[in-house]
Structure 1
Amino acid sequence: MQVSTEKKEGVQHLLTVTVPAEDVKKAYDASFRKYAKNARIDGFRKGHIPTKVLEQQFGGQIYSDAYDSLVNETLGQAIKESKLDVVGYPKIEVKKATFKNDEEFVYEATVEVNPELELKPFEDLKLKSIKASVTDADVDNMIETLRKQQGKWQVKDDAVVSKGTRASIDFTGRTDGVEFEGGKASNFSLTVGETQMIPGFTEQIEGHKAGDKFTIQVKFPEDYHAENLKGKDAEFDIVVNSVSELSLPEVNEDFVKVFGVKDGSLDTFKKELRKNMERELNRAQYTITRGKLFDALVAQYGEFAVPEAYVEAEKERLAKNFEQQMRAYGMKKLPDSLKKDDMFNDEAVKSARLGAIVRKIVESLGLAKPSDEFVEAQLEQIAGAYEDPAELKDQIRKDKAQFEAVQNAALESEVVAKVMEKAADGEEEMTFDQLVNHR
């Protein structure tokens, strides 16, 4: 077998593989024997069909099986001889295959390889490391948040729609005097200061009481998700059915026991709450640092070709995640406009490039696998909030798929930490609220 290699555009290479005539004959004979043994044709006994009849009836399939056999038997060796770091499955094109006159078999394999990158200095990234901690005030604010979560909404007959109240409303929207899809609802729950509405909608309902009926004028934003409503003026007929106020529970023994504090102690509750908040803080700190670092790396390396196999895999992952998010919001069927093949292309290319960069960094750091320190930290992040962390850690270690996911996350975390050791240029102080809520 002879193999020649030609560099093509981007990460593509063309392998031309020539298979000797004797190997071609063996492949054809093997394929022919298979059909001669198993083929069925009316008027002939199985296994006793004349050669010419067999070739007339199954010639194309015999040749096709022989092609496949030759490619399957030689492609792996051809790639090995080329010494290329091939990604995905090659595109095969047969160039010469007559299976007559003892001729050789020639095919071309278009392959993609991992991009060859030159490692760039981490110090050039100059990123701010994040400095943050959980303060007593943060703990107190979290307790207030938990009180609100445990609070009960109570209808107040004389209450006015204002910040912190919840109004049950009916509304009917129109543009150009015509009702539009999605613009009508009954008993819609509107919590002032929390429920996101188009600009001016909530503000014009504030100050009203139960039983009020009125019309408001609004304008849809230019970047509104519905194409037919972007930038359009609209009016809504509003009916306020009721207004509720939130009644908050006292912070006492009964309150803290709701959150699993068996002794009912406020001090114990605050300590446990702080631990959970610190875990949340660390997770948010890592997520933001990781995002900034990865964006900086993509910008540092700029544009370069990546294998289409990686891009397609990323597009599939992004599309699947998007569909899951939409289903979580109650959208059972995605509109065709959200199923475009190129919808995630730019993000997929960016992710594929980032993957190539991270692989290069992992290689340069000699990280064949994550260190025990980072694996344990990842396990603690997952199991720390559970009643028996050690038991959960053992369960994860025994589950091959789960532990592999932990190791992958730990490896990524170790890469981020090691790169940031050299990329960090000063600190940026952030509060718990800024970190966790990305404000």
Structure 2
Amino acid sequence: MQVSVETTSNIERRMTIGVPAQEIDQAVQKRLQETARTVRLNGFRPGKVPMSVVKRRFGDSIRQEIVGEVMRDNYIKALQEQDINPAGWPRFEPKTMEEGKDLEFVAVFEVLPEIELGDLSKINVEKPVAEVTDKDIDTMIDNLRRQQAPMKEVKRKSKNKDVVTIDFKGTIDGEEFEGGAAEGHRLTLGSGQMIPGFEKAIVGGKTGEEFDIEVTFPEDYHNEDLAGKPATFAIKVHKVEEPQLPELNAEFFQKFGIEAEDEAGFREEVKKNMERELKQAVSNKVKNDVVEGLLETTELDVPSSLVDQEIDRLRQEAVQRFGGQVDFQQLPKEIFEDQAQRRVKTGLLFQEVVKANDLKADAAKVDEKIQEIASTYEQPEEVVAHFNSNQEQKTQVESVVLEEAVVDLVLGQAKVKEKKMKYEEAVKAGQAQR
């Protein structure tokens, strides 16, 4: 086997491989003999089909099979000899395939990029600083009660947190616009579902009333044709309902999986859950800033094969979220291109930080992370035992701990600025990074 490697870009390689004709011919002859022993053809007894007939009927297809196998096997052997680690499967380009002549083919493939990390001290990280206050807990419990509250129609002016059923029709300069109308729309006033000013303008409306409201679309509105423009909405109120808040008792607590004897115990469990959510949100925000900083300070080429693999994963995830009713390959790849690029770049950069600094997943932190996960379940001991007996699950936890080690290392060199936030602001900041 003769091998030569050409570097065509930072990450692309063209490997030319030559295989003696004798190796191909011997493999073809052996496969023909195996076929002759097993093939069944009309007019011939099993195992008695003449070799000339077998070769005439199956020779071309067998040769194609053998050439494919030889290219694959010799490509793998050449990679080992040349000590090359490809990023994905190659594209084979046969150059000579004629019978009796040496086989020559080209394997075009990508390799993982050589990464030189940028100056970590130039990375800026904003770290939210927040705490869970009694007011935050009150708001959370109020939200939980409203989730479980039956609705009762009322004959009064609407107020915040009421649910109104309305028709609306929007116009700009007297012209209707796409997506600006609906009938029988249920809206919780004060929820922020609509553009700023819309819900506030409806507060005070009563069943049967019709009126117009004036609002302005935000400058950063997702539809550029509407962004920043004033609009008029014709409103008709069909119904006003208010929630009938349930009592804070054991029956209510159990709906959220909380075993508590009284309101004080329930508040304590709610607080613990909120603190976990806050901790995760801060972690998400900080990690995202670290990722953004690494991407900005380090240039790297991304193997398209890895991006394609990530796109397929994202498409499969999307199909699963929507009930698996379509083949994931029917979803356009372009929708996932940017997200896949970012994921692959992030993975490569984290791997480089790990390698450059010889980072390991600390066993004690892995155990701590498992305990943290288990604490959210009713039988934490069983969850811990499950992780410790399932290596695949434990490996996933180790990966998370290793990611946290990367983030901590970067934070040690980056410019970190703490920013005081309310609980809700911090949680939103973290959610926006997922």
Q: TM-score range by the shorter chain?
A: 0.7 to 0.9
Does residue 1:119 correspond to 2:117, yes or no?
Answer: yes
Q: Go from structure 1 to structure 2 and tell me whether the alpha carbon gap of 1:365 and 1:275 turns closer, same or farther (over 3 Å shift).
A: same
From 364, 389, 402, the counterpart of 1:373 = 364
The reply on whether 1:306 has 2:302 as its aligned counterpart is yes
SS of the residue 1:352 aligns to: helix
Q: Does 1:360 align with 2:352?
A: yes
Alignment match of 2:161 (pick from 154, 158, 164): 164
For residues 126 and 220 of structure 1, the distance between their equivalents in structure 2, rounded to whole angstroms, comes to: 32
Matched, 1:421 2:419: no
Distance 1:44-1:283 versus aligned 2 partners, 3 A rule? same
Matched, 1:398 2:395: no
Q: Does 1:211 align with 2:208?
A: yes
| Cα distance change on mapping 1:435 and 1:34 into 2, 3 Å | same
Aligned to 1:273: 270
Query: Aligned equivalents of 2:179 and 2:422: distance in 1?
Result: 42
Give 1:428 shift. Answer: 2.8
Residues 238-272 of structure 1: per-residue CA shift (max 9 Å, x gap) = 44222122344566777667666656344433333
**Equivalent pair of 2:33/2:51 in contact (CA under 8 Å):** no
TM-score by length of 2: 0.84
Q: Of the candidates 411, 421, 425, which is equivalent to residue 430 of structure 1?
A: 421
Summarize deviations over 1:353-388 as a string: whole Å, max 9, x none: 221111111112323x51123312322332222233
CA distance in 2, matches of 1:168, 1:276: 33
User: Letter of the aligned partner of 1:120 in structure 2?
Assistant: G
1:79-90 map, 5 Å: 79-90=79-90
What letter corresponds to residue 158 of structure 2 in structure 1? V
Provide the residue aligned with 1:386 in structure 2: 377
Within the alignment, does 1:244 sit opposite 2:247 as a pair? no
Amino acid at match of 1:119: L
Shift of 1:316: 2.1
Q: Distance in 2 between matches of 1:360 and 1:371?
A: 18
1:182 and 1:429 map into 2 onto residues whose CA distance is 38
- The alignment's C-alpha RMSD in Å is 3.7
Q: How many matched pairs?
A: 428
Cα separation, 1, equivalents of 2:315 and 2:216: 31
What residue is the counterpart of 1:77 in the other structure?
77
How far, CA to CA, are the matches of 2:45 and 2:252 in structure 1?
A: 86
Structure 1 residues 69 and 150: alpha-carbon distance in aligned structure 2, compared to 1, 3 A threshold = closer
In structure 1, how many angstroms separate the alpha carbons of the residues matched to 2:40 and 2:51? 13
Q: Aligned in 2, Cα 1:37/1:237: closer, same or farther, shift over 3 Å?
A: farther
Q: Which residue of 1 aligns with 2:332?
A: 340
Q: 1:280 to 1:33 in 2, by over 3 A?
A: same
Deviation of 1:312 (Å):
0.7
Q: Does 1:318 align with 2:310?
A: no
Identify if the C-alpha distance between structure 1 residues 262 and 105 changes in structure 2 by more than 3 Å, giving closer, same or farther: closer
1:194 aligned to 191, 195, 198, which one?
191
Deviations 1:335-355 (A, max 9, x none): x9x943222222322221221
Residue 131 of structure 2, aligned match among 130, 133, 138:
133
Identity of matched residues, %:
31
Flag the 1:93–1:319 CA change in 2: closer, same or farther, 3 A: same
- Equivalent residue, structure 2, for 1:155: 153
Q: Secondary structure at the match of 2:105?
A: strand
Q: 1:333 to 1:201 in 2, by over 3 A?
A: farther
Q: Which runs of 5+ in 1 are unaligned?
A: none
Is residue 408 of structure 1 aligned with residue 404 of structure 2?
no
Distance in 2 (alpha carbons) for counterparts of 1:140 and 1:215? 35
Change in 2 beyond 3 A, CA 1:112/1:130: same
Task: In structure 2, list runs of 5 or more residues that go unmatched.
Answer: none
Secondary structure of the structure 2 residue equivalent to 1:87 = coil
One-letter amino acid matched to 2:121: E
For residue 290 of structure 1, report the CA deviation from its aligned partner: 0.9
